[in-house]
Amino acid sequence: MASPPPPLLLTLVWAAALLWCGGCDARFVVEKNSLRVTAPEALKGAYECAIGNFGVPQYGGTMVGVVAYPKANRKACKGFDDFDVSFKARPGALPTFLLVDRGDCYFTKKAWNAQNAGAAAILVADDRDEPLITMDTPEESGRVEYLENITIPSALISKSFGDRLKKTIDNGEMVNVNLDWRESLPHPDERVEYEFWTNSNDECGPKCDSQIDFVKSFKGAAQILEKKGYTQFTPHYITWYCPEAYTLSKQCKSQCINHGRYCAPDPEQDFSKGYDGKDVVVQNLRQVCVYKVAKESKKPWLWWDYVTDFAVRCPMKEMKYTKECADAVITSLGLDHKAIDKCIGDPDADEENPVLKAEQDAQIGKGSRGDVTILPTLVINNRQYRGKLDKGAVLKALCAGFRETTEPAVCLSEDIQTNECLENNGGCWQDKAANITACKDTFRGKVCECPVVKGVKFVGDGYTHCEASGAGRCEINNGGCWKETMNGRTYSACTADGCKCPDGFKGDGIHKCEDIDECKERTACQCKECNCKNTWGSYECGCSGGLLYMKEHDTCISKSAAAQVGWNFLWVVFFGLAAVGIAAYAVYKYRIRRYMDSEIRAIMAQYMPLENQGEIPSNSHHIEM
């Protein structure tokens, strides 16, 4: 009989299980989406369901369909072709959401069979009364090729709800359902924060391969989003510690650094050959430090370049998983490898490494995010992503994390979402003449919001009415007001305060302004000698008998009288100015003469008493001797 494995090996195996699967005592948060039944009446309402960790959840969106429960193969562990059954929707019909029972095979196998049968989504009914769990991809099935090809969303529903659905369908009633992922991810503002928990080990099978494939495919989009400030990305790495009693053992020394404080599983699961777990820990640490140094130089996106280049240039299989190869990649990216070495510290020191200690602390869940126990794990806005690690699926999830109308252009491309403004303008207001619309395409759908055009803000409800406002409103389609040109003259009803017909016109100022006939309505040119002629927007008034029309008084006077009046007025002005000048000169002479008289009197008073002046007192002082 074989001897039992040593206690340390059991501990490390348990730790590896914690690292690679979700079955643990850690605080694991089940990510959910909403399922709303719209018919029949007895089932109407909203129900919770758990998002599967495979397939492609429609983050930020919704799906409407009809639930089908098969008469045979109800656990969907076999292909439905064997039963000559198809769930592919006919043209014009709602998509089919296939309801199946839990048990007998992996969740992923059920989803794959449902997808091949034409189902648009799969609902798995739990077979026991328990809180909802996350349907994960088992490690044993990771080698099956179909896993990467599952594209339909999946959800686990409770046993009680599943029983009600089955009973209703068996009774011949149609069940209409709306799957809603719009609130599955928080979307508070115009920037998305996300974390990617990964591993530098490239010898751990399909999961390691999927990680590096994802990094390579997503690198371009990630770097664009980061460079333009739309996202804040942080990479993370999981480690665990070796029990203190075994820190000096051969196994612990081969898998851990810093005297057992930070460990990783052996890449080949064979302690006697290849690279050791401690090599993986050091490389993980180096990748964290590459990110930190790159971030300090305002180029955090260089992490993506380093990880992809290192995977290509320094694979374990070619025995290039070394510091020398890593330094070459670091140098090629223009990063300071000395600063990175300083960040790494001494792996042999019997002390904590602050960088790895921070990584261990970050692994513990906070707020709405549970502990990170599965690799790889993507966390978006502090909520763990569930689904396929695929460029398109992950980009959709990131786009769902932006507040509506703040998404970057990449989130509005045809590959990511459908532009709802292209059909009937999304039901929003528009001005076809000025090519202005209130419909704004968003990742989640569309919003009807009055726009700002060339600095001019439109106001209104966005659905039936939008009107330009402010001083520049007339520059945009004349502010929506009436405007017309005739005989080389242009009139507009647009003002800073709204639409108002100009003088000489009447109407609503928006659709119509009609010329006012001043002659016919007797509002001008009404004197006895006046001859009135209406013009567009104004009038002309002449006088008979050679008279001159005075518009201010609406009267006619003779031209000679007008001239005489003009000359008389000029003479009056001339004599008036002359009189004012003479009076001013007389006052001036008078004031000058009075001033001179007072000066002369003052001088004479110093030498002789005047007849009308009393005796001048002496200013001398009497001095007693």
Which helix (H) or strand (E) element contains residue 349? none
- Would you call 281 helix, strand, or coil by DSSP? helix
User: From CA 609, how far away is CA 287, in angstroms rounded?
Assistant: 115
* CA-to-CA dists, residue 471 to 491, 494, 513, 555, angstroms: 18, 10, 22, 39
Under the banding of pLDDT at 50, 70 and 90, the label for residue 271 is confident
Q: What average pLDDT does the segment 487-501 reach?
A: 88
d(CA 458, CA 396): 31
Average pLDDT taken over every residue of the chain: 86
Q: Which residue has the higher pLDDT, 159 or 4?
A: 159
Question: Out of 3.40.50.2300, 3.50.30.30, 3.30.70.1230, 3.40.50.300, which CATH number does the structure's domain 29-179 have?
Answer: 3.50.30.30
User: Residue 12: its pLDDT value, please?
Assistant: 43
Work out the average pLDDT over 524-532.
86
Pairing between β-strand 430-431 and β-strand 192-198 as defined by DSSP bridges: unpaired
CA 15, CA 373: separation in Å to the nearest integer?
10
pLDDT exceeds cutoff 60 at 21: no
Domain ranges of the chain: 29-179, 190-409, 422-467, 480-513, 520-556
Q: Give the pLDDT confidence score for residue 473 in this predicted structure.
A: 84
Could you tell me if 215 and 392 are in contact, meaning their C-beta atoms sit under 8 angstroms apart? no
Contact between residue 379 and residue 165 where contact means Cβ atoms under 8 Å apart:
no
pLDDT of residue 569: 59
Cα gap 327→306, rounded to integer Å: 10
Taking phi over 0 as left and psi of -120 to 50 as alpha, with beta for the rest, 549 belongs to beta
Does the pLDDT of residue 352 top 50, yes or no?
yes
The answer, yes or no, to whether residue 444 has pLDDT greater than 80, is yes
* Three-state SS letters, 241-263: CCCHHHCCCHHHHHHEECCCCEE
This prediction's pTM: 0.72
Q: Which amino acid is at 438?
A: A
Tell whether the model's pLDDT for residue 358 goes beyond 80: yes
**What is the reported pLDDT for 567?**
54
Q: Write down the pLDDT at residue 616.
A: 42
* pLDDT (mean) for 155-159: 96
Q: What is the mean pLDDT of residues 47-70?
A: 92
Q: Which residue has the higher pLDDT, 370 or 1?
A: 370
In this model, does residue 416 exceed pLDDT 90?
Answer: no
pLDDT average, residue stretch 287-306: 97
Give the amino acid at 117: A
> In degrees, to the nearest 5, what angle opens at C-alpha 254 toward C-alphas 15 and 358?
55
Distance from C-alpha of 559 to C-alpha of 546, rounded to nearest angstrom: 7
The position carrying tokens 């044993």 is 140
The one-letter code for the residue type at 132 is L
Share of the chain above pLDDT 90, in %: 55
Predicted confidence (pLDDT) per residue in 133-146, tens digit: 999 877 654 456 78
Per-state percent for the chain, helix, strand, coil, to nearest 5? 35, 20, 45
Measured CA to CA, the distance from residue 420 to residue 416 in angstroms comes to 13
pLDDT tens for each residue of 559-590 = 665 444 555 556 666 777 877 778 777 777 77
| Longest CA pairwise span in the chain (Å) | 158
Residue 546 CA to residue 537 CA, distance in Å, equals 26
pLDDT mean over 248-252? 88
CATH 3.40.30.10 given to domain 190-409 = yes
Q: What is the spatial distance between Cα 324 and Cα 321, in angstroms, rounded to a whole number?
A: 9
Distance, in Å, from the CA atom of 424 to the CA atom of 146, rounded to the nearest integer, reads: 40
pLDDT at 97 over 60: yes
CA atoms in the 13 A half-sphere facing the CB of 589: 6
- Report helix angle 323-332 to 337-344, nearest 10: 140
Q: What is the pLDDT of residue 584?
A: 76
Helix (H, G, I), strand (E, B) or coil at 506: strand
